[in-house]
Amino acid sequence: MLVIVCYDVNTETSQGRRRLRRVAKICESTGQRVQKSVFECQVNQMQLDELERRLLVEIQVNEDCLRLYRMADTRGCEVREYGRFKATDFDGPLVI
């Protein structure tokens, strides 16, 4: 399934800036960055549960915001892109 992860971490303190880096690293390990605080992740249910658990350990719910959008069917999902970003096709062939 395709999951969109969006976050907004309060960076007014040094602890907040560290939290932001940790949240970004977790997201980078699972998906691709499409904007500064937005990631697309192609995961199964077990991977989604683990990603959500790891992110909830890092954020402060009274200061930060975390949103996970689960796209029910990627075939019915349309994304229009403009600008320099080039997405990775997770369903296409992997060339190393």
pLDDT digits (tens, 9 = 90+) for 19-78: 999 999 999 999 999 999 999 999 999 999 999 999 999 999 999 999 999 887 656 666
Calculate the dihedral angle through the C-alpha atoms of 42, 94, 85, 50, rounding to the nearest 10 degrees.
20
Running DSSP on this structure, what letter comes out for residue 44? -
| Contact partners, residue 13, CB within 8 Å, separation at least 6 | none
CA atoms within 13 A on the CB side of 88: 14
